[in-house]
Structure 1
């Protein structure tokens, strides 16, 4: 069972509180690093039962009850969630930084969003995650540096044609990943495997691979900033070769057309 940190009594000084902000920030930055991404839309995408518990189909999950005692507040929030095992560590990190002290909450949120690899469902209707509050969603967009765009339709040119707009939402973005073959439930564990798993490594057909030069060039031409790093992630049970050929057949022509239109418009202006 996941147990958030409890607030220390007033006469029990937390050793971390004695550190200067610069040192404490480095410690929190290191503590928030995890090898696997955090899928922040699991709450939105999951099926809710009448009891309010979130049920996942086809994935290992654990039921936990979290009682959060916010420091300097008389309120207690009781949350009931059914979390996939691979996501519990990220939720535990969020609980710890929010239930220790005001100072650690302030610095911890900066560390959390700057150091997590965040995965989002590209078909969400809102730009905000239900897991975070309004102010935290704003901080996410301001601080996150690596985003995985999950649930992409490999036969839809519109998904990649909108990528300049998608990446522009995140002010400090340095790296984005296009994830193909994702389905909530049976593929959730694939999404949360370490990003070090590479296609071709020990014969693996799924994992992370480089964006083909043609696709990378087309994305740059339609407005994706050249300084952004990008790669592709392929779900378990599928192969990169399948998606490579399908993208070339269904997506590249429309991307190329849009790039040419944008370039012609720019030359005329």
Structure 2
């Protein structure tokens, strides 16, 4: 007859690092991005009182719609994907009392998730600012630059040529990133409260719009890819765009062609001239 110790299933302590790593990889993978520097981290769509649904729509650059998107309630998209609170619970779990889970889990957390961050927060990360992510230790913040592979940059000013010119330098410290999505026209929460028709409402878009927009993102046009490669963007990096609710893909692309492409062409020309001058100076 088998002893009790022989019939009990193995605990995590008895699993090899490879097997435990595989388990954590699956556990940390979600079907929505994690809004890492969310200014309203405690708010979730399940906590909102349901009101009359609006007929807000969100489409890809080709007019496609998300089959999991079912409209909005109180201005919040209903898309049946992981909530922001699910990501927060994941972070709490991998910061458990188990040393092995902490050691393997923290790197897995950033490696497996799509991380959404504001442009300003990424700049603070570059400067090693310990207060970049509220509630996250500085040593954990360094893991973001080292292990994130899929990142969303929340940039409310898509018409600014400088946002595109600085993109290669901005992404350079992310040593493992292989995909970057620019989320355009998303309005981050600023702490202001506005009143409309006698109803007070916090400004800014709800975090779930990040997920709703991200799943309908599109690869940037070939012209933009060539221009960015010309100013230092790695050709292997997959760059995409996503548009927040109420924006127009065609209008955005037309604006980029008129306002941004000429500046990028000029930048490439200046870099070419500088390279020739450096060659002459060295010869």
Alignment equivalent of 1:88, drawn from 85, 90, 93: 85
| Residue in structure 1 matched with residue 139 of structure 2 by the alignment | 135
Are the structure 2 counterparts of residues 187 and 250 from structure 1 closer, same or farther at C-alpha, using a change threshold of 3 Å?
Answer: farther
**Shift of residue 130, structure 1, vs aligned partner:** 2.4
| Partners of 1:232 and 1:147 in 2: CA distance | 12
| Residue in structure 2 matched with residue 267 of structure 1 by the alignment | 276
**Shift of residue 228, structure 1, vs aligned partner:** 0.8
Deviations 1:146-174 (A, max 9, x none): 11111241110011111011111211111
Matched, 1:37 2:33: yes
Alignment equivalent of 1:126, drawn from 120, 124, 127: 124
| Residue in structure 2 matched with residue 190 of structure 1 by the alignment | 209
Q: What is the Cα-based RMSD across aligned positions, in Å?
A: 2.4
| Partners of 1:208 and 1:121 in 2: CA distance | 17
| Residue in structure 2 matched with residue 146 of structure 1 by the alignment | 150
> Does the CA-based 8 Å contact 2:165-2:231 persist in structure 1?
yes
Alignment equivalent of 1:159, drawn from 139, 163, 171: 163
Count the aligned residue pairs.
217
Are the structure 2 counterparts of residues 37 and 131 from structure 1 closer, same or farther at C-alpha, using a change threshold of 3 Å?
Answer: farther
TM-score by length of 2: 0.70
Alignment equivalent of 1:60, drawn from 42, 45, 48: 45
> Does the CA-based 8 Å contact 1:87-1:192 persist in structure 2?
no
| Residue in structure 1 matched with residue 173 of structure 2 by the alignment | 169
Deviations 1:71-125 (A, max 9, x none): xxxxxxxxxxxxx983101100000111241111111111101111011101336
Q: Give the 5 Å matches for 1:231-242.
A: 231-242=240-251
TM-score by length of 1: 0.74
Larger Rg: 2
Higher alpha-carbon deviation: 179-188 or 21-30 = 179-188
Runs of 4 or more consecutive aligned structure 1 residues displaced over 6 Å after TM superposition: none
> Does the CA-based 8 Å contact 1:210-1:232 persist in structure 2?
yes
| Partners of 1:115 and 1:99 in 2: CA distance | 18
| Residue in structure 2 matched with residue 21 of structure 1 by the alignment | 17
Structure 2 gaps, min length 5 = 1-7, 49-76, 126-131, 189-203, 279-283
Alignment equivalent of 2:105, drawn from 84, 105, 108: 108
Are the structure 2 counterparts of residues 226 and 86 from structure 1 closer, same or farther at C-alpha, using a change threshold of 3 Å?
Answer: same
> Does the CA-based 8 Å contact 1:182-1:188 persist in structure 2?
no
| Partners of 1:227 and 1:253 in 2: CA distance | 24
| Partners of 1:171 and 1:148 in 2: CA distance | 15
| Partners of 1:262 and 1:152 in 2: CA distance | 28
> Does the CA-based 8 Å contact 2:91-2:109 persist in structure 1?
yes
Structure 1 gaps, min length 5 = 1-11, 47-53, 64-83, 198-206
Are the structure 2 counterparts of residues 248 and 91 from structure 1 closer, same or farther at C-alpha, using a change threshold of 3 Å?
Answer: same
> Does the CA-based 8 Å contact 1:234-1:240 persist in structure 2?
yes
> Which structure carries more strand by proportion?
1
| Residue in structure 1 matched with residue 264 of structure 2 by the alignment | 255
